[in-house]
Amino acid sequence: MGTGIHGERGDEPDGAFEKFFHADFPAVVALLLAAGFGRDDALDAAADAMTQAYEKWSTITSPGRWVRKTAIRIAIAMAARQREATRRAIRGGWLARTSQEDDRLAAVEHRQPLLQILDQLPPQQRMMTALRVDGYEPAEIAELLGTSPETVRSHLRHARRRIEGILDEGGEGR
């Protein structure tokens, strides 16, 4: 069974996928940016779609259309997870709730400082915290990342402590 972009594929001697990737990846990212998705989300969704295209390359008849459709679906799902994470953050007290009309604006305004805080975490803690905020349970995160739930809980605990320290230093506590 293949894994990711370096899967076991010997049926592409002419490098067709590589040519497709180099030609279409920037166009897929541009499409997602034009659709209103953020740069990082556009890059992630395009990369995920290309990975899926690589894994199914021999069965795709119209790769350009297929990868664009897949990238859009991935980006929409990512946006939905981010909206749910914002709702959870509001419910959990991470973000202040103002009024129904201002919820979306408040989420956007408060998201940037939260992302800046998460950027200060080590990569594993950042990934696990982001997945947790997105609603994944430690057991699910462990399965996704190939580690134990105990390890995930430990990383999350250390991330919480680090975030508390960052907030204390910046005077941004609850």
Residue 153's pLDDT is 95
pLDDT tens-place string over residues 25-39: 998 998 777 767 789
DSSP characters for 27-59?
A: HHHHHHHHTT--HHHHHHHHHHHHHHHHHTGGG
pLDDT tens-place string over residues 46-64: 999 999 999 999 999 989 9
Distance CA 70, CA 48 (A): 9
Nearest in space to 26 (alpha carbons), one of 42, 15, 8: 42
Distance CA 106, CA 156 (A): 25
pLDDT tens-place string over residues 54-104: 999 999 998 998 998 899 889 888 888 887 887 777 777 665 555 543 555
Question: What is the enclosing helix (H) or strand (E) of 69?
Answer: helix 63-91
Residue 95's pLDDT is 59
**pTM flag (> 0.85):** no
Nearest in space to 129 (alpha carbons), one of 95, 91, 158, 93: 158
Complete domains list, the chain, with CATH: 14-97 (no CATH), 120-174 (1.10.10)
pLDDT bin (cut points 50, 70, 90) of residue 13 is low
